[in-house]
């Protein structure tokens, strides 16, 4: 079921996701999982990975020509966030801009909501 997305994805990030999906090794993984799990130096870390299919409890969100899947807890924690991509040589890659993070690590891959 497709729902209104809690996360925005910038044009730069969409373009990079499409480039990654076009690679032969990702041809059978049409879903991008965006999520949060315990870990990282700030308490929670962001998850971005390609998967073959959603889980029964996942939310699905349509973007361009791919779908984002997200577990319910991640959808709650990532509400109003923006997924961006920067091609900078140092510190480049996907970044989540999280307006609800009370603290985050220096590398930008983990955060704390409290």
How confident is the model over 23-77, as pLDDT tens digits?
A: 999 888 889 999 999 877 668 888 999 999 999 999 999 988 899 999 999 999 9
**Number of structural domains the chain divides into:** 1
Whether 1 maps to a domain, the answer reads: no
Q: What is the CATH classification number for the domain harbouring 108?
A: 2.60.300.12
Distance CA 81, CA 49 (A): 17
**pTM higher than the cut 0.85:** no
Q: Is residue 2 part of a domain?
A: no
Q: Tokens in use for 27?
A: 């041809």
| Segment 71-113, tens digit of pLDDT | 999 999 999 999 999 987 776 799 999 888 776 665 556 566 6
Quote the radius of gyration of the chain (alpha carbons, Å): 14
Give the range of the structural domain holding residue 13, as residue numbers without chain letter. Answer: 7-112
């Amino acid at each position: 079921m497709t729902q209104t997305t809690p996360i925005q994805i910038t044009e730069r990030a969409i373009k990079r996701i499409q480039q990654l999906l076009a690679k032969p090794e990702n041809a059978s993984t049409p879903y991008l999982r965006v999520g949060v799990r315990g870990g990282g130096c700030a308490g929670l870390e962001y998850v971005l990975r390609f998967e073959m299919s959603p889980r029964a409890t996942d939310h699905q969100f349509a973007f361009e020509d791919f779908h984002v899947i997200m577990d319910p807890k991640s959808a709650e924690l990532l509400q109003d966030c923006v997924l961006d991509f920067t091609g900078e040589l140092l510190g480049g890659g996907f970044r989540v801009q999280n307006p609800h993070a009370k603290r985050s690590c220096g590398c930008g891959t983990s955060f704390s909501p409290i």
